[in-house]
A and B are shown apart, each in its own frame.
Chain A
Amino acid sequence: MTGVRIRGLRKSFRSLTRRTHVLQGVDLDVEPGQVVGLIGPNGAGKTTLMSCLLGFLHADSGEVSIDGRPADDIDVRRRIGFVPERMNFGRRATSQAFLRYMARLSKADVARVEALLSKLDVAHGARKRLSEHSRGMLQRVGMAQALLGEPDYLFLDEPASGLDPNGVLLVRDLILEQKERGRAVLLNSHQLSEVEKVCDRVYFLDRGVIGREETLRHDTTIPIAITLLDGQTVELDVGSEEEIAAVVGRMVGEGARIIEVRRRTADLEGMFRSGR
Protein backbone atom coordinates (compact mmCIF):
# COMPACT_ATOMS: atom_id res chain seq x y z
CA MET A 1 0.00 0.00 0.00
CA THR A 2 1.51 3.28 -1.05
CA GLY A 3 -1.49 5.48 -0.36
CA VAL A 4 -3.47 8.13 -2.15
CA ARG A 5 -1.50 10.69 -4.12
CA ILE A 6 -2.93 13.75 -5.82
CA ARG A 7 -0.67 16.19 -7.60
CA GLY A 8 -1.61 19.36 -9.47
CA LEU A 9 -5.23 18.29 -9.85
CA ARG A 10 -7.27 20.67 -11.97
CA LYS A 11 -10.92 20.29 -12.82
CA SER A 12 -13.31 22.71 -14.43
CA PHE A 13 -16.89 22.51 -15.61
CA ARG A 14 -18.03 24.09 -18.81
CA SER A 15 -21.49 25.47 -19.46
CA LEU A 16 -22.69 27.18 -22.61
CA THR A 17 -21.63 30.59 -21.40
CA ARG A 18 -18.73 30.07 -19.04
CA ARG A 19 -16.12 27.78 -17.60
CA THR A 20 -15.92 27.31 -13.83
CA HIS A 21 -12.58 26.27 -12.42
CA VAL A 22 -13.49 24.13 -9.40
CA LEU A 23 -10.11 22.62 -8.58
CA GLN A 24 -7.01 24.65 -9.37
CA GLY A 25 -3.93 22.55 -8.73
CA VAL A 26 -4.65 20.47 -5.65
CA ASP A 27 -1.91 18.39 -3.98
CA LEU A 28 -2.99 15.89 -1.35
CA ASP A 29 -1.65 12.69 0.23
CA VAL A 30 -3.25 10.03 2.38
CA GLU A 31 -0.87 7.44 3.69
CA PRO A 32 -1.77 3.99 5.03
CA GLY A 33 -2.74 4.13 8.70
CA GLN A 34 -3.68 7.79 8.44
CA VAL A 35 -6.99 9.57 8.77
CA VAL A 36 -6.94 12.75 6.71
CA GLY A 37 -9.65 15.37 6.93
CA LEU A 38 -10.87 17.54 4.11
CA ILE A 39 -12.63 20.67 5.26
CA GLY A 40 -13.73 23.84 3.58
CA PRO A 41 -16.79 25.98 2.93
CA ASN A 42 -19.61 24.97 0.60
CA GLY A 43 -18.52 25.30 -3.02
CA ALA A 44 -14.86 24.82 -2.16
CA GLY A 45 -14.56 21.77 -4.41
CA LYS A 46 -14.50 19.00 -1.79
CA THR A 47 -17.09 16.82 -3.51
CA THR A 48 -15.46 17.39 -6.90
CA LEU A 49 -12.14 16.33 -5.38
CA MET A 50 -13.77 13.21 -3.95
CA SER A 51 -15.42 12.51 -7.33
CA CYS A 52 -12.06 12.73 -9.14
CA LEU A 53 -10.58 10.42 -6.53
CA LEU A 54 -13.31 7.86 -7.10
CA GLY A 55 -12.98 8.09 -10.89
CA PHE A 56 -16.46 9.60 -11.30
CA LEU A 57 -14.99 12.72 -12.87
CA HIS A 58 -12.03 13.01 -15.22
CA ALA A 59 -9.35 15.50 -14.21
CA ASP A 60 -8.45 18.22 -16.72
CA SER A 61 -4.84 17.77 -15.68
CA GLY A 62 -2.76 16.48 -12.81
CA GLU A 63 -2.25 13.09 -11.23
CA VAL A 64 -4.69 11.07 -9.15
CA SER A 65 -3.45 7.68 -8.04
CA ILE A 66 -4.30 5.10 -5.42
CA ASP A 67 -1.53 2.65 -4.72
CA GLY A 68 0.22 4.00 -7.79
CA ARG A 69 -2.67 3.11 -10.10
CA PRO A 70 -5.36 5.25 -11.71
CA ALA A 71 -8.41 5.90 -9.55
CA ASP A 72 -10.82 4.20 -11.98
CA ASP A 73 -8.84 0.96 -12.15
CA ILE A 74 -11.05 -2.05 -11.33
CA ASP A 75 -8.41 -3.57 -9.02
CA VAL A 76 -8.21 -0.30 -7.13
CA ARG A 77 -12.00 -0.27 -6.74
CA ARG A 78 -11.84 -3.70 -5.18
CA ARG A 79 -9.85 -2.07 -2.38
CA ILE A 80 -11.84 1.08 -1.76
CA GLY A 81 -14.96 1.80 0.24
CA PHE A 82 -17.05 4.90 -0.31
CA VAL A 83 -19.76 6.42 1.85
CA PRO A 84 -21.73 9.10 0.00
CA GLU A 85 -23.30 11.98 1.87
CA ARG A 86 -26.76 10.79 0.91
CA MET A 87 -27.38 7.10 0.47
CA ASN A 88 -29.60 6.67 -2.55
CA PHE A 89 -30.76 3.32 -3.73
CA GLY A 90 -33.97 1.67 -4.86
CA ARG A 91 -36.05 2.38 -1.79
CA ARG A 92 -38.05 -0.86 -2.11
CA ALA A 93 -35.05 -3.02 -1.20
CA THR A 94 -34.55 -4.03 2.41
CA SER A 95 -31.25 -3.03 3.94
CA GLN A 96 -30.28 -6.70 4.06
CA ALA A 97 -31.07 -7.25 0.36
CA PHE A 98 -29.28 -4.01 -0.54
CA LEU A 99 -26.16 -5.01 1.38
CA ARG A 100 -26.16 -8.50 -0.13
CA TYR A 101 -26.30 -6.95 -3.60
CA MET A 102 -23.46 -4.59 -2.70
CA ALA A 103 -21.45 -7.51 -1.28
CA ARG A 104 -21.82 -9.43 -4.54
CA LEU A 105 -20.81 -6.37 -6.55
CA SER A 106 -17.83 -5.86 -4.25
CA LYS A 107 -16.88 -9.55 -4.64
CA ALA A 108 -17.06 -9.69 -0.84
CA ASP A 109 -18.23 -12.48 1.43
CA VAL A 110 -22.03 -12.17 1.72
CA ALA A 111 -21.78 -13.57 5.25
CA ARG A 112 -20.22 -10.26 6.30
CA VAL A 113 -23.57 -8.55 5.78
CA GLU A 114 -25.09 -9.88 9.01
CA ALA A 115 -21.92 -9.11 10.98
CA LEU A 116 -21.83 -5.53 9.72
CA LEU A 117 -25.54 -5.01 10.33
CA SER A 118 -24.94 -6.00 13.96
CA LYS A 119 -21.76 -3.99 14.28
CA LEU A 120 -23.48 -0.86 13.00
CA ASP A 121 -26.50 -1.50 15.20
CA VAL A 122 -29.01 -1.82 12.35
CA ALA A 123 -29.64 -5.57 12.60
CA HIS A 124 -33.15 -4.89 13.97
CA GLY A 125 -34.02 -3.06 10.74
CA ALA A 126 -32.42 -5.59 8.39
CA ARG A 127 -35.75 -6.62 6.89
CA LYS A 128 -37.11 -3.10 6.71
CA ARG A 129 -37.22 -1.35 3.37
CA LEU A 130 -34.69 1.42 2.88
CA SER A 131 -37.62 3.83 2.41
CA GLU A 132 -38.64 3.08 6.00
CA HIS A 133 -35.23 3.94 7.43
CA SER A 134 -34.43 7.25 9.10
CA ARG A 135 -31.58 9.34 7.70
CA GLY A 136 -29.32 8.10 10.48
CA MET A 137 -30.17 4.46 9.77
CA LEU A 138 -29.45 5.01 6.06
CA GLN A 139 -26.07 6.48 6.95
CA ARG A 140 -25.26 3.39 8.99
CA VAL A 141 -26.30 1.13 6.10
CA GLY A 142 -24.17 3.33 3.83
CA MET A 143 -21.22 2.84 6.16
CA ALA A 144 -21.84 -0.92 6.19
CA GLN A 145 -21.78 -1.18 2.38
CA ALA A 146 -18.46 0.66 2.31
CA LEU A 147 -16.89 -1.79 4.76
CA LEU A 148 -18.16 -4.95 3.04
CA GLY A 149 -15.04 -5.59 0.98
CA GLU A 150 -12.69 -4.80 3.91
CA PRO A 151 -11.24 -1.92 1.93
CA ASP A 152 -7.71 -0.60 2.29
CA TYR A 153 -8.90 2.88 1.39
CA LEU A 154 -12.01 4.48 2.82
CA PHE A 155 -13.52 7.66 1.40
CA LEU A 156 -16.17 9.16 3.63
CA ASP A 157 -18.36 12.08 2.66
CA GLU A 158 -20.10 13.45 5.73
CA PRO A 159 -20.49 10.01 7.32
CA ALA A 160 -21.92 11.38 10.56
CA SER A 161 -24.52 13.54 8.86
CA GLY A 162 -27.96 12.84 10.32
CA LEU A 163 -26.65 10.53 13.01
CA ASP A 164 -27.64 10.70 16.68
CA PRO A 165 -24.86 11.00 19.28
CA ASN A 166 -24.58 7.20 19.55
CA GLY A 167 -24.20 7.00 15.77
CA VAL A 168 -21.55 9.70 15.78
CA LEU A 169 -19.58 7.78 18.44
CA LEU A 170 -20.00 4.56 16.44
CA VAL A 171 -18.67 6.14 13.26
CA ARG A 172 -15.79 7.68 15.17
CA ASP A 173 -14.84 4.29 16.62
CA LEU A 174 -15.11 2.67 13.20
CA ILE A 175 -12.82 5.26 11.64
CA LEU A 176 -10.26 4.82 14.41
CA GLU A 177 -10.52 1.03 14.05
CA GLN A 178 -9.77 1.34 10.33
CA LYS A 179 -6.78 3.50 11.15
CA GLU A 180 -5.47 0.94 13.64
CA ARG A 181 -5.72 -1.70 10.94
CA GLY A 182 -3.43 0.39 8.77
CA ARG A 183 -6.07 1.61 6.37
CA ALA A 184 -6.08 5.02 4.77
CA VAL A 185 -9.15 7.15 5.42
CA LEU A 186 -10.14 10.41 3.74
CA LEU A 187 -12.89 12.18 5.63
CA ASN A 188 -14.84 15.02 4.08
CA SER A 189 -16.80 16.69 6.85
CA HIS A 190 -18.22 19.95 8.11
CA GLN A 191 -18.23 18.65 11.68
CA LEU A 192 -14.99 20.23 12.83
CA SER A 193 -15.09 18.69 16.30
CA GLU A 194 -15.26 15.20 14.77
CA VAL A 195 -12.46 16.03 12.35
CA GLU A 196 -10.31 17.16 15.27
CA LYS A 197 -11.03 13.95 17.17
CA VAL A 198 -10.17 11.44 14.45
CA CYS A 199 -7.89 13.06 11.89
CA ASP A 200 -4.11 13.00 11.86
CA ARG A 201 -3.93 15.69 9.25
CA VAL A 202 -6.35 18.21 7.76
CA TYR A 203 -6.46 19.94 4.40
CA PHE A 204 -8.41 23.17 4.21
CA LEU A 205 -9.78 23.54 0.71
CA ASP A 206 -11.08 26.92 -0.40
CA ARG A 207 -12.09 28.00 -3.90
CA GLY A 208 -10.33 25.02 -5.46
CA VAL A 209 -6.97 25.37 -3.76
CA ILE A 210 -5.50 23.89 -0.60
CA GLY A 211 -5.29 26.98 1.57
CA ARG A 212 -3.67 25.24 4.48
CA GLU A 213 -2.48 21.84 5.62
CA GLU A 214 -2.39 21.19 9.34
CA THR A 215 -1.00 18.22 11.25
CA LEU A 216 -3.23 17.41 14.21
CA ARG A 217 -1.40 14.36 15.51
CA HIS A 218 2.31 13.81 15.41
CA ASP A 219 3.80 10.37 15.55
CA THR A 220 6.93 11.35 17.47
CA THR A 221 6.22 14.64 19.22
CA ILE A 222 3.55 16.10 21.46
CA PRO A 223 2.88 19.78 20.78
CA ILE A 224 2.11 21.64 24.01
CA ALA A 225 1.31 25.19 25.06
CA ILE A 226 2.25 26.53 28.50
CA THR A 227 0.43 29.64 29.65
CA LEU A 228 2.08 31.87 32.24
CA LEU A 229 0.43 34.14 34.78
CA ASP A 230 1.48 37.26 32.87
CA GLY A 231 -0.49 36.04 29.84
CA GLN A 232 2.52 34.83 27.84
CA THR A 233 2.21 31.47 26.09
CA VAL A 234 5.16 29.22 25.43
CA GLU A 235 4.69 26.69 22.61
CA LEU A 236 7.01 23.73 22.27
CA ASP A 237 7.15 20.14 21.04
CA VAL A 238 8.18 17.41 23.46
CA GLY A 239 8.93 13.74 22.94
CA SER A 240 6.88 12.18 25.74
CA GLU A 241 4.57 12.89 28.67
CA GLU A 242 7.53 12.46 31.07
CA GLU A 243 9.28 15.24 29.17
CA ILE A 244 6.23 17.51 29.74
CA ALA A 245 6.61 16.98 33.50
CA ALA A 246 10.36 17.64 33.26
CA VAL A 247 9.93 20.84 31.25
CA VAL A 248 7.26 22.15 33.62
CA GLY A 249 9.39 21.27 36.65
CA ARG A 250 12.40 23.04 35.15
CA MET A 251 10.38 26.18 34.32
CA VAL A 252 8.87 26.29 37.83
CA GLY A 253 12.37 25.85 39.24
CA GLU A 254 13.50 28.85 37.20
CA GLY A 255 10.68 30.94 38.71
CA ALA A 256 8.05 30.75 35.98
CA ARG A 257 4.45 31.08 37.24
CA ILE A 258 2.51 28.53 35.17
CA ILE A 259 -1.28 28.62 35.17
CA GLU A 260 -2.05 26.13 32.36
CA VAL A 261 -0.38 23.35 30.39
CA ARG A 262 -2.33 21.91 27.45
CA ARG A 263 -1.85 19.94 24.28
CA ARG A 264 -1.76 22.20 21.27
CA THR A 265 -4.35 21.40 18.61
CA ALA A 266 -5.03 23.09 15.32
CA ASP A 267 -7.68 25.72 15.54
CA LEU A 268 -9.99 24.46 12.81
CA GLU A 269 -12.68 26.99 13.64
CA GLY A 270 -10.08 29.70 13.40
CA MET A 271 -9.02 28.37 9.98
CA PHE A 272 -12.61 28.59 8.82
CA ARG A 273 -13.15 32.06 10.24
CA SER A 274 -9.99 33.48 8.74
CA GLY A 275 -10.82 31.79 5.43
CA ARG A 276 -7.34 30.29 5.17
Chain B
Amino acid sequence: MSVVILETLRRHFTSGAYLVFVAFLVLVAVGSTFLSGQPGQWRSFVALLTLIAGAQLIGPEFSSGTLQLILSKPINRSVYLLSRWAGVVLAIWCAVGLALVADWMALVARGAPIPWRRMGEGAFGLSWSAMLVCAVLAFFGSFLRSYFNVGLYLVLQAVLGMALAAIDEIRPDMPGIIGASARFFDAYPAMGSAIAALTRNLFPDVPRAVAVDWVLLIASNTAVLLLLACLLFRRREVPYGAD
Protein backbone atom coordinates (compact mmCIF):
# COMPACT_ATOMS: atom_id res chain seq x y z
CA MET B 1 0.00 0.00 0.00
CA SER B 2 2.78 2.40 0.94
CA VAL B 3 4.45 1.84 -2.44
CA VAL B 4 1.43 3.24 -4.29
CA ILE B 5 0.96 6.10 -1.82
CA LEU B 6 4.61 7.12 -2.18
CA GLU B 7 4.42 6.88 -5.97
CA THR B 8 1.27 9.03 -5.99
CA LEU B 9 3.03 11.62 -3.84
CA ARG B 10 6.13 11.48 -6.05
CA ARG B 11 4.00 12.11 -9.12
CA HIS B 12 2.46 15.16 -7.47
CA PHE B 13 5.72 16.54 -6.16
CA THR B 14 7.33 16.24 -9.60
CA SER B 15 4.34 17.63 -11.45
CA GLY B 16 4.86 21.15 -12.75
CA ALA B 17 1.13 21.90 -12.48
CA TYR B 18 1.01 20.86 -8.82
CA LEU B 19 4.13 22.82 -7.93
CA VAL B 20 2.88 25.94 -9.72
CA PHE B 21 -0.48 25.63 -7.96
CA VAL B 22 1.15 25.24 -4.55
CA ALA B 23 3.46 28.19 -5.25
CA PHE B 24 0.40 30.24 -6.22
CA LEU B 25 -1.36 29.16 -3.03
CA VAL B 26 1.63 30.22 -0.92
CA LEU B 27 1.88 33.56 -2.74
CA VAL B 28 -1.83 34.23 -2.21
CA ALA B 29 -1.46 33.28 1.47
CA VAL B 30 1.60 35.48 2.03
CA GLY B 31 0.29 38.42 0.01
CA SER B 32 -3.30 38.56 1.21
CA THR B 33 -2.52 37.80 4.85
CA PHE B 34 0.34 40.31 4.98
CA LEU B 35 -1.77 43.03 3.42
CA SER B 36 -5.11 42.37 5.14
CA GLY B 37 -4.05 40.64 8.34
CA GLN B 38 -6.81 38.09 7.67
CA PRO B 39 -5.42 34.54 7.22
CA GLY B 40 -7.06 31.84 5.09
CA GLN B 41 -7.85 33.87 1.97
CA TRP B 42 -6.51 30.97 -0.11
CA ARG B 43 -9.12 28.42 0.97
CA SER B 44 -11.31 28.54 -2.13
CA PHE B 45 -8.26 27.67 -4.26
CA VAL B 46 -7.76 24.49 -2.24
CA ALA B 47 -11.21 23.35 -3.32
CA LEU B 48 -10.04 23.78 -6.91
CA LEU B 49 -6.81 21.89 -6.21
CA THR B 50 -8.83 19.08 -4.62
CA LEU B 51 -10.96 18.74 -7.75
CA ILE B 52 -7.94 18.80 -10.07
CA ALA B 53 -5.95 16.29 -8.01
CA GLY B 54 -8.96 14.08 -7.31
CA ALA B 55 -9.93 14.01 -10.99
CA GLN B 56 -6.74 12.06 -11.71
CA LEU B 57 -7.44 9.29 -9.23
CA ILE B 58 -8.29 6.41 -11.57
CA GLY B 59 -9.96 7.52 -14.82
CA PRO B 60 -6.96 8.93 -16.68
CA GLU B 61 -4.86 5.89 -15.71
CA PHE B 62 -7.60 3.70 -17.12
CA SER B 63 -7.75 5.60 -20.40
CA SER B 64 -3.99 5.81 -20.89
CA GLY B 65 -3.41 2.12 -20.25
CA THR B 66 -1.27 2.65 -17.13
CA LEU B 67 -3.86 0.97 -14.94
CA GLN B 68 -3.75 -2.21 -16.99
CA LEU B 69 0.00 -2.46 -16.55
CA ILE B 70 -0.33 -1.98 -12.79
CA LEU B 71 -3.19 -4.46 -12.45
CA SER B 72 -1.04 -7.13 -14.11
CA LYS B 73 1.10 -6.95 -10.96
CA PRO B 74 0.23 -8.79 -7.74
CA ILE B 75 -1.71 -5.98 -6.15
CA ASN B 76 -5.25 -6.11 -4.84
CA ARG B 77 -7.49 -3.71 -6.74
CA SER B 78 -9.11 -2.34 -3.59
CA VAL B 79 -5.74 -1.75 -1.99
CA TYR B 80 -4.62 0.08 -5.11
CA LEU B 81 -7.70 2.32 -5.20
CA LEU B 82 -7.47 3.15 -1.49
CA SER B 83 -3.75 3.87 -1.80
CA ARG B 84 -4.31 6.21 -4.73
CA TRP B 85 -7.00 7.99 -2.73
CA ALA B 86 -4.71 8.27 0.31
CA GLY B 87 -1.83 9.58 -1.83
CA VAL B 88 -3.97 12.27 -3.43
CA VAL B 89 -5.42 13.33 -0.07
CA LEU B 90 -1.90 13.54 1.42
CA ALA B 91 -0.74 15.69 -1.50
CA ILE B 92 -3.64 18.07 -0.85
CA TRP B 93 -2.85 18.13 2.87
CA CYS B 94 0.75 19.05 2.03
CA ALA B 95 -0.49 22.01 -0.02
CA VAL B 96 -2.80 23.10 2.81
CA GLY B 97 0.07 22.76 5.29
CA LEU B 98 2.35 24.95 3.18
CA ALA B 99 -0.35 27.60 2.77
CA LEU B 100 -0.92 27.53 6.53
CA VAL B 101 2.79 28.04 7.19
CA ALA B 102 2.77 30.92 4.67
CA ASP B 103 -0.18 32.48 6.55
CA TRP B 104 1.70 32.21 9.84
CA MET B 105 4.87 33.72 8.35
CA ALA B 106 2.91 36.64 6.90
CA LEU B 107 1.25 37.32 10.24
CA VAL B 108 4.62 37.17 12.01
CA ALA B 109 6.11 39.55 9.42
CA ARG B 110 3.18 41.92 9.90
CA GLY B 111 3.53 41.67 13.65
CA ALA B 112 -0.13 40.73 14.00
CA PRO B 113 -1.49 38.35 16.63
CA ILE B 114 -1.83 34.78 15.40
CA PRO B 115 -5.36 33.36 15.67
CA TRP B 116 -4.17 29.79 16.16
CA ARG B 117 -7.56 28.26 16.74
CA ARG B 118 -9.26 29.90 13.77
CA MET B 119 -6.36 29.09 11.43
CA GLY B 120 -6.15 25.51 12.67
CA GLU B 121 -9.87 24.87 12.39
CA GLY B 122 -9.99 26.38 8.91
CA ALA B 123 -7.12 24.23 7.65
CA PHE B 124 -8.48 21.14 9.36
CA GLY B 125 -11.95 21.68 7.87
CA LEU B 126 -10.50 22.01 4.36
CA SER B 127 -8.24 19.01 4.75
CA TRP B 128 -11.00 16.88 6.24
CA SER B 129 -13.51 17.78 3.52
CA ALA B 130 -10.86 17.00 0.86
CA MET B 131 -11.18 13.36 1.99
CA LEU B 132 -14.85 13.31 1.08
CA VAL B 133 -14.41 15.15 -2.23
CA CYS B 134 -11.67 12.68 -3.23
CA ALA B 135 -13.84 9.75 -2.09
CA VAL B 136 -16.72 10.99 -4.30
CA LEU B 137 -14.27 11.36 -7.21
CA ALA B 138 -12.81 7.91 -6.51
CA PHE B 139 -16.33 6.47 -6.49
CA PHE B 140 -17.20 8.08 -9.82
CA GLY B 141 -13.76 7.15 -11.18
CA SER B 142 -14.32 3.52 -10.25
CA PHE B 143 -16.80 3.17 -13.12
CA LEU B 144 -16.05 6.12 -15.42
CA ARG B 145 -13.21 6.78 -17.84
CA SER B 146 -10.83 9.67 -18.17
CA TYR B 147 -11.86 12.88 -16.34
CA PHE B 148 -15.59 12.14 -16.45
CA ASN B 149 -15.55 11.69 -12.67
CA VAL B 150 -14.97 15.39 -12.09
CA GLY B 151 -17.50 16.21 -14.82
CA LEU B 152 -20.18 14.14 -13.09
CA TYR B 153 -19.21 15.64 -9.73
CA LEU B 154 -19.68 19.20 -10.97
CA VAL B 155 -22.89 18.42 -12.86
CA LEU B 156 -24.40 16.59 -9.89
CA GLN B 157 -23.44 19.37 -7.51
CA ALA B 158 -24.95 22.00 -9.80
CA VAL B 159 -28.13 20.00 -10.49
CA LEU B 160 -28.74 19.20 -6.83
CA GLY B 161 -28.06 22.80 -5.83
CA MET B 162 -30.45 24.13 -8.46
CA ALA B 163 -33.08 21.55 -7.56
CA LEU B 164 -32.94 22.49 -3.88
CA ALA B 165 -33.24 26.20 -4.68
CA ALA B 166 -36.07 25.54 -7.12
CA ILE B 167 -38.05 23.42 -4.63
CA ASP B 168 -38.04 26.39 -2.23
CA GLU B 169 -39.13 28.87 -4.90
CA ILE B 170 -41.76 27.11 -6.98
CA ARG B 171 -45.47 27.23 -6.08
CA PRO B 172 -48.34 24.91 -7.12
CA ASP B 173 -50.27 27.80 -8.68
CA MET B 174 -47.45 28.59 -11.13
CA PRO B 175 -48.20 27.77 -14.78
CA GLY B 176 -47.11 24.73 -16.78
CA ILE B 177 -44.41 22.30 -15.79
CA ILE B 178 -43.19 24.52 -12.94
CA GLY B 179 -46.52 24.33 -11.17
CA ALA B 180 -46.77 20.62 -11.90
CA SER B 181 -43.31 20.11 -10.36
CA ALA B 182 -44.34 22.07 -7.26
CA ARG B 183 -47.48 19.93 -6.92
CA PHE B 184 -45.30 16.79 -7.33
CA PHE B 185 -42.92 17.84 -4.55
CA ASP B 186 -45.88 18.79 -2.35
CA ALA B 187 -47.44 15.38 -2.93
CA TYR B 188 -44.14 13.56 -2.35
CA PRO B 189 -42.19 15.58 0.24
CA ALA B 190 -39.78 12.66 0.64
CA MET B 191 -38.35 13.52 -2.79
CA GLY B 192 -37.35 16.98 -1.65
CA SER B 193 -35.91 15.55 1.56
CA ALA B 194 -33.92 13.01 -0.43
CA ILE B 195 -32.39 15.71 -2.63
CA ALA B 196 -31.54 17.76 0.45
CA ALA B 197 -30.00 14.74 2.18
CA LEU B 198 -27.96 13.83 -0.90
CA THR B 199 -26.63 17.38 -1.16
CA ARG B 200 -25.87 17.55 2.55
CA ASN B 201 -24.04 14.22 2.48
CA LEU B 202 -22.12 14.49 -0.79
CA PHE B 203 -21.39 18.21 -0.88
CA PRO B 204 -21.43 19.47 2.71
CA ASP B 205 -20.27 23.02 3.38
CA VAL B 206 -17.06 23.48 5.32
CA PRO B 207 -18.03 25.16 8.61
CA ARG B 208 -15.93 27.99 10.01
CA ALA B 209 -15.80 26.26 13.38
CA VAL B 210 -15.34 22.52 13.17
CA ALA B 211 -18.03 20.51 14.96
CA VAL B 212 -17.82 16.86 15.95
CA ASP B 213 -21.02 16.04 14.02
CA TRP B 214 -19.54 17.42 10.85
CA VAL B 215 -16.25 15.55 11.35
CA LEU B 216 -18.15 12.29 11.82
CA LEU B 217 -20.40 12.99 8.83
CA ILE B 218 -17.38 13.46 6.56
CA ALA B 219 -15.61 10.40 7.96
CA SER B 220 -18.59 8.07 7.65
CA ASN B 221 -19.60 9.25 4.18
CA THR B 222 -16.00 8.95 3.00
CA ALA B 223 -15.85 5.38 4.31
CA VAL B 224 -19.14 4.40 2.63
CA LEU B 225 -18.12 5.93 -0.71
CA LEU B 226 -14.70 4.27 -0.65
CA LEU B 227 -16.32 0.93 0.16
CA LEU B 228 -18.71 1.31 -2.79
CA ALA B 229 -15.81 2.42 -5.01
CA CYS B 230 -13.82 -0.69 -4.05
CA LEU B 231 -16.78 -2.97 -4.74
CA LEU B 232 -17.28 -1.49 -8.21
CA PHE B 233 -13.59 -1.30 -9.03
CA ARG B 234 -12.99 -4.95 -8.12
CA ARG B 235 -15.43 -6.06 -10.82
CA ARG B 236 -14.55 -3.42 -13.38
CA GLU B 237 -13.28 -4.62 -16.74
CA VAL B 238 -10.08 -2.95 -17.92
CA PRO B 239 -9.44 -3.83 -21.57
CA TYR B 240 -5.98 -2.64 -22.57
CA GLY B 241 -6.33 -2.18 -26.27
CA ALA B 242 -8.58 -2.44 -29.24
CA ASP B 243 -8.32 -5.50 -31.45
Which residues of A approach B to under 8 Å, CB–CB? 22, 42-48, 50-51, 54-58, 74-75, 77-78, 80, 82, 84-90, 92-93, 97, 101-102, 104-107, 145, 149, 157
Contacts and interface: CB of A to CB of B under 8 A. Distances in A.
B71 interface: yes
B11 interface: yes
Contacts of A46: 243
Contact of A105 (B73, B237, B241): B73
Nearest to A13: B239
Contact of A47 (B14, B64, B240): B240
Contacts of A101: 3, 7
Given A22-B243, A101-B3, A105-B3, A84 B74 contact: no
Given A104-B3, A157-B241, 12 more contacts: A22-B243, A54-B71, A56-B237, A57-B239, A58-B237, A82-B72, A86-B241, A89-B66, A89-B69, A92-B15, A101-B7, A105-B3
Question: Would you call the interface of chain A mostly helix, strand, loop, or mixed?
Answer: loop
B41 interface: no
A79 to B, nearest CB: 9
B242 interface: yes
Given A56-B68, A92-B11, A51 B240 contact: yes
Contacts, number: 85
Interface string B123-141: 0000000000000000000
B72 A90 contact: no
B48 interface: no
Contacts of B76: 74
A18 B72 CA distance: 30
Most chain A beta-carbon neighbours within 10 Å: one of B64, B69, B238, B242: B69
A78 B3 contact: no
B241 A84 contact: yes
Contacts of A58: 235, 237
Nearest to A51: B239
A50 B239 CA distance: 9
Count class of interface residues, chain B: 20 to 34
Interface of B: 3-4, 7, 10-11, 14-15, 64-66, 68-76, 235, 237-243
Given A105-B3, A105-B75, A107-B74, A85 B241 contact: yes
Question: Would you call the interface of chain B mostly helix, strand, loop, or mixed?
Answer: loop
A45 B64 contact: no
A14 to B, nearest CB: 11
Contacts of A88: 64-66, 69
B69 A56 contact: no
A106 B69 CA distance: 11
A136 B3 CA distance: 28
A47 B74 contact: no
Nearest to A106: B73
A47 B3 contact: no
A87 B7 CA distance: 18
A74 B69 contact: no
A74 B241 contact: no
A44 B239 contact: no
A86 B65 contact: yes
B74 A106 contact: yes
A90 B7 CA distance: 11
A24 B237 CA distance: 19
Given A58-B237, A86-B65, A102 B243 contact: no
